[in-house]
Amino acid sequence: MSRPSAVRHALGHAAVVAATGAALYPVLWVIKMALSPGQAFDPSPSPWPRVVSLQNFRDLWGLGGTGHLWRELGNSLIVAVATALVGLLSSATAAFAFSRLRFRGRQASLAFFLATQMFPGIMMAIPLYILLDDLRLLDSLTGLVLVYSTTSVPFCVWSLKGYLDTLPRELDEAARIDGATSWQIFWKVILPLARPALAVTALFAFLSAWNEYILAATFLGDARKYTLPVALQSYVGEYHTEWGHFAAGAIVVSIPVMLVFFALQKHLVAGLTAGGVKG
């Protein structure tokens, strides 16, 4: 290792540390509010709590007599994982077709997927409500999963297609000559190689379901079906917000995301396709 690269590595580490600091700095207030007793939104410039108390977390866990955290956490997990799976599966096949197969209407359907993202989402709550009602899926986690996964499908399709386009085409041609059907090529050759993109897409789909509350609160009419963000948003009142509980809940909400990302990030490895083709 030569001198200049040592300096560069030191600078690189410094930059990452600085960025991480900047990324975490605002979150310190979340932690502070969660750990401070009381429900104030502390506007003081210091990010450190004056008094540390776990009361907010205790309340959250239902020890204070209000919450059903486990149930809500469970619902959220079911919804988010199912959304990621459904979104991923349906969009992976579509992305494969867009990337590898030529068919009439290909460009148009790609554009269509993109176009659906252009309509402001807040205008869609009421029509979606009517639709889910007609499908008899109001009040059900299935309905939520359906809505979340379809709203995340366009991104998933586009992002996966973008990645698949970079995979060498000879691989599926080789498989075709080997006698693989399109499905076998998709399942046995392309999908294993798309792991990094699948990880990114899964995280995206998971998160889009995990943090959403407006639609969930609008569609669910049964408290036993509530997801965590709905419960969390209930701490925000018209005049008064229980910031302590909200912040504690925000931390509880964030931890699974980080765990999921931690689990997924090992798929973000380089050189997955190395050695496959020349050049």
Q: How many C-beta atoms surround the C-beta of residue 151 within 10 A?
A: 21
121 binds other proteins (CB under 8 A): yes
* Shortest Cβ 139–other proteins spacing (Å): 8
136 binds other proteins (CB under 8 A): no
Rounded Cα gap, residues 61 and 25, in angstroms = 26
Q: Give the interface size with other proteins as a residue count (CB under 8 A).
A: 157
206-265: contacts with other proteins (CB under 8 A) = 207, 211, 213-214, 217-218, 221-223, 229-230, 232-240, 242-243, 246-247, 250-251, 253-254, 257-258, 261-262, 265
41 binds other proteins (CB under 8 A): yes
51 binds other proteins (CB under 8 A): no
53 binds other proteins (CB under 8 A): no
Cβ 258 vs Cβ 79: under 8 Å: no
Cβ 56 vs Cβ 245: under 8 Å: yes
Show the tokens assigned to 22: 């900047």
Candidates 97, 141, 144, 209; binder of other proteins (CB under 8 A) is 97
Candidates 2, 3, 51, 271; binder of other proteins (CB under 8 A) is 271
78 binds other proteins (CB under 8 A): no
CA distances from 11 to 17, 24, 109 (A): 10, 20, 46
Cβ 232 vs Cβ 250: under 8 Å: yes
Candidates 73, 140, 159, 187; binder of other proteins (CB under 8 A) is 159
Which contacts (CB < 8 Å, 24+ apart) does range 259-265 have? 260/203, 260/206, 261/203, 264/199, 264/200, 264/202, 264/203, 265/199
Candidates 2, 3, 51, 123; binder of other proteins (CB under 8 A) is 123
